[in-house]
Structure formats: structure tokens, C-alpha cells
Structure 1
Amino acid sequence: MSTNITHGTDELWWVYVLHCAGDRCYVGASSQVDARLRAHAAGTASAFTRAHPVEALIGTLPVGTRRQAMVLERRVKRWKPARKRAYFRHYRLAWDHHRATSLLAEVPMYAALAVSIDALNLLEAQHQEVQRSVLAALDGIAPELLEVLRQTGCDDAGIGAWLCYPNPQLSGRRPVDLVAHGEAAVVMALIVRAQHGVE
């Protein structure tokens, strides 16, 4: 993940879509989505949401750096409202999952993923049984991430291999390690940037 120079920290930026009064959509980007949503609800975030109060969060999509989020935000703003709703409604879970990561150690499925990662350290990443266990654990922990991976056209064996190998775009870390540490959104952001051609 690139460092955000403005804040000097690794902040993950998100693009979000809100359903507003008058059956309108608002598209925004933020690294602090909860705070931004509160500001929209209070009518202090933008003139648009002040004039057309927010009725619901349609969805959020992890993107990466601020610049990458702004590029995708501009693209999404050009979409018709029906396309925005249809695309982003699948990503409501991504934000809910991201917000729940403080409870990861208490979730039994994360322990199953940790066991799979330990096995990967002992076996080659190509071992099909280990990859299947990683996919099964991922399906329980971050099904929306697994769905996005499947939408790339890759079969489960290819997804398993991709998850288990160090990725240069993730500073040499394995995607499965990030997921195990509650950073599935970072992995999803990498895939989203590739799908939308955002560098």
C-alpha cells in the first residue's frame, strides 16, 4: 500500500455511494468513511446531501490511495444511477467487514485461516489441499472478496495460488496473510484497481 503523503500513514481510501432523497445517488471518496457518513447525515459534508438528505448507504469499495480513489470516484460519477446502485450494493459487506476487524481474534473462522497460513509455511503454495482450505476459510471470512476474485475469470486453483504467493503490489506480502490480519479490504482494493484500470 502506498503511503498517503498528506497524513504520513497508510490510509486505505474508499469510494462510496449514498442513496439520497428524490431517488438520487451521491458518490464520494474518503479514508474516514464513518466520519464522512456522519457529516453527510448532519448535512455538513456537501451541498448536495444537504439539499437531498441521505437515506441509506448503498455500498463502499476499497480502492487504495487518495489519488486512486479520486480517479475511480470521477469515473463512477459519470455512471447512470441504476448502474451505481447495481454495482455498489454488492459492496456493502466490504465496509461492514472492514469495521468489524477489531473483533477478528474472537472469530473462529479467523483461527481456521491462521491454521491454513501456518500450513502454507510448511508446504509449497501450490499444494491443492492447502489452497482449498484457504479458499474455504476465505469464503467464511470475506465472501465478497472471494466473489470479486471469481469475477476475474480465474478458477479456484488459480485464486488459491494467487492468494498464497507473495505479491509485489502488496510489498511482497501474500494476500492471504493480509486477510488473516483483518486487511481483506487492502486485497480487494488491489483487485478493484486492476478491474477499473486505476494505477
Structure 2
Amino acid sequence: MTFWVYILRCADGRYYTGHTDDLERRFGEHQTGGHCAYTSKRRPVTLMWCQPFASRIEALETERRIKPWSRAKKDALIREDWAALSHYARPPRERPSTSLGTNGESGSHLHVVADTPCP
């Protein structure tokens, strides 16, 4: 069985991070509302990023690791911008000065995965 960690962008621009064993079903639940208080108030949602895992514990641990990340760090993950992700992984006082803005913009645009499950 495959387990998924995913990031949704809500209608208000906020991100929601979760995990599931059925990405298509869970995305549908978020989209229709009633199953998650957070996303029910912020519909529609867009699937921005997801990754499969072999076990629920791996997915849960990854969700718990990503959930508290800054918006800039999540944006870097979604863009697969590993340099920016590494930059935002460091505490602000330890970050080298770069052309990256405080909101994580580096000239790249977000890669929207659309309303379908990740491959």
C-alpha cells in the first residue's frame, strides 16, 4: 500500500499539509468540505505537491517535519528549488546573504500539480 504526504493551497493562499493512504479520495474530501475544518473554510483547494511513501509511519513523520516549515521553505519544496530549500532550512541568522527575498521568491514560479493526484 502506498501512503502520501501532500501540500494543498487553499483559496486564501494558505497551505495545508497532510498524509493519507488514498490521495484521490482525500483530495476529493478536502475539495467538497466537511472532512477537515481547516480546508472546509478555505475551498477550493489545489494540490501543489505530493510524495509517496512505503509506510504510514514514514508519511506521518514527513508530514510532521514539513507542517511547521515557513511558507518560503514550502514554496521551495513545491518548486523543487533545492538551493532555496537548503537556504531556508538554516536559522535566519545563519543564512548567507543571497538574492532570495524573505518571501522565498527567486524568480521561479510555483509548479501547480492541478486537481489530479501526483503520478
TM-score normalised by L of structure 2: 0.64
Q: Determine the C-alpha separation between the residues in 2 that align with 1:54 and 1:81.
A: 19
CA offset digits 1:157-185 (Å, max 9, x no partner) = xxxxxxxxxxxxxxxxxxxxxxxxxxxxx
Runs of 4+ in 1 over 3 A off after TM superposition: 89-93
Task: Please report the RMSD computed on the Cα atoms of aligned residues, expressed in angstroms.
Answer: 2.1
Show the counterpart of 1:35: 25
DSSP-derived class of the 1:54 partner: coil
DSSP-derived class of the 1:58 partner: strand
Gaps in structure 1 of 5+ consecutive residues: 1-10, 98-199
Show the counterpart of 2:46: 56
DSSP-derived class of the 2:35 partner: coil
Q: Determine the C-alpha separation between the residues in 1 that align with 2:58 and 2:14.
A: 24
Q: Which has the higher helix share?
A: 1
Structure showing greater Rg? 1
Residue 71 of structure 2 aligns with an amino acid whose one-letter code is: P
Sequence identity, in percent? 31
The Cα of 1:89 is off from its aligned counterpart by 4.2
Aligned partner (choices 49, 65, 69) of residue 55 of structure 2 = 65
Show the counterpart of 1:74: 64
